[in-house]
Amino acid sequence: MPLRVRLTLWYGTALALVLMIFSMVLYAMTARNLRDAVDQSLEETAMTAVRSLEARGFLPLINEEELLSQFPELTRIDKFFQIFSPSGTISIRSPNIKQHEVPLSRTALDTAFAGQSIFESAKYPNEPPLRLISVPIMYRGNLLYIVQVGTSMESVGETLHRFLILLMVAIPIALTVSLAGGWFLAGRALRPVDKITLAAQRIAAGDLSQRLSMPAAHDEIGRLAATFNNMIGRLDVSFRQIRQFTSDASHELRTPLTVMKGETDLVLRRPRALEDYKSVLESNLEETDRMTRIVDELLFLSRADMGEVKMESLPVAMESLVEDIHRQATLLGQDRNIEVVLGTVMPVVVQGDDLRLRELLLNLVENAMKYSHPGGKVEISLLNDGREGRLSVTDHGIGIASPDHKRIFHRFFRTDVARAHTKKGTGLGLAICAWITDLHKGRIEVKSDLGQGSTFTVVLPLAHPAA
């Protein structure tokens, strides 16, 4: 069942229930109030009669004309009265009761002997019910008379009947109008949901550039649309990234394959000297190494993405790590005539994984050496400001233009200058560095100008920051 129908039905049922209970209570209260008003007026009339009788000293009454002249209020047509003797027989009664007998009930008589007044209802066939009050008149503990005043409940019955008809007409009308209103409102409230559904269908059909038009209101629907747009935006970005990544990866793997195939083809075209085969095989080995490295790094990154790479969390003394890498880099630098020096090295202890931090620093130093000019100098320094450790690698090489400062951390991104400078490199090293830094809750800062050299600074929180 559509939500709109369900909402309207729920709402209608609840409203009908409320209206029914409300009108039942209203009807009962009105009936009660009307009867109370009748009772009160009966009691007042009876009391007036009693007081007048008392004022006359309880002299026996002779006839009704005398009584009526005595008590003009008893002549009101809507009431009749009777006066009974203690034996229960009627001594006097008003003329407007002549049609039929209204005898004193047993209960009324008993109550009168007890000196109490009583209200009663009486019902005769084909007539509206009667309401009666019987009041005893006592004199020195003896029952003299019983005054009974009665009235027809006809007008009360009619009023209640009219009220009932009014309710029976008004409730269905009110219910219909509110149901129509509810149907309309539910439709209006749900219209944006329909729109979202349609847009979602278009998006599901593959168009991730689609966005939902946002309702102006900051209500539930507005938030839903915003969340939805946000989600689509992120999906869009990650799909693009994956596509880009796949094409980059294929491209990066294809280049060495093309080189290998070209060289092999060429050398196999005719018999060659042993030296030629050897040099092609060496070149192929180099390309194979390169591909192996790309595949290894890709594998690492994809395992890192899936959260499968384990990280230690132990105190790591960075200064000894820096010294180790410095030693290693000095050896590597000798081939290319690049000098690796240590700047200021302060003691720094961070919480983390020693092997990963080594990899991080080695990546940065390798980059610095790789993108330096022959005869260049690379400096490693380690500072401690009490809160953070700052590990910097500075070179005076090719540098990076500032628009690329962010992009160099993307997978496979290599600047054109870098590609021109060296064939070596996968474009994955800095992505791995960024990942390792992230896991150590640190950040990497880049300061670099094209042609001037670069400084990469890894900022890591200390294991025990100074208070």
**Angstrom distance (rounded) from CA 233 to CA 230:** 5
Binding mask 362-401 for ligand ADP (x = CB under 6 A): -x---xx--x-----------------------x-xxxx-
Instruction: Based on DSSP, count helices (H) and strands (E) in the chain, helices before strands.
Output: 10, 12
- Is there binding between residue 215 and Mg ion (CB under 5 A)? no
Q: Tell me which stretch binds ligand ADP (CB under 6 A): 28-36, 278-286, 314-322, 422-430.
A: 422-430
Min dist CB 369 to ligand ADP, Å, is: 8
If we measure between CA atoms, which residue out of 328, 356, 348 comes closest to residue 340? 328
- For tokens 């329909």, the residue is 194
Part in contact with Mg ion (CB under 5 A); list of ranges 21-29, 186-194, 313-321, 428-436: 428-436
Nearest to 446 by CA among 371, 337, 350, 347: 371
Q: Does 454 interact with Mg ion (rule: CB under 5 A)?
A: no
Query: Does 352 participate in binding Mg ion (rule CB under 5 A)?
Result: no
Q: Which of 111, 367, 381, 457 binds Mg ion (CB under 5 A)?
A: 367
Q: Are 375 and 351 in contact (CB under 8 A)?
A: no
Closest to 371 in 3D by CA, of 404, 346, 343? 404
Q: Identify which of residues 429 and 453 has a Cβ nearer to Mg ion in the complex.
A: 429
Q: Which does 229 bind (CB under 5 to 8 A by kind): ligand ADP, Mg ion, none?
A: none
- Pick what 82 binds: Mg ion, ligand ADP, none; C-beta below 5 to 8 Å, kind-dependent: none
Which tokens belong to 195? 């729109």
Q: Which stretch binds ligand ADP (CB under 6 A): 62-70, 118-126, 353-361, 414-422?
A: 414-422
- The answer to whether residue 229 forms part of the interface with Mg ion (CB under 5 A) is no
> What are the φ and ψ backbone dihedral angles of 22, each rounded to 5 degrees?
-60, -45
Amino acid letter, residue 333: G
Quick one: which segment of 37-45, 190-198, 283-291, 412-420 binds ligand ADP (CB under 6 A)? 412-420
For position 256 contacting ligand ADP by CB under 6 A, the verdict is no
CB of 367 to ligand ADP, least distance (A): 3
Which distant-in-sequence residues (6+ apart) come within 8 Å of 228 by Cβ?
196, 200, 212
What is the C-alpha separation between 50 and 117, in angstroms, rounded? Answer: 12
Interface ranges with Mg ion (CB under 5 A): 367, 429
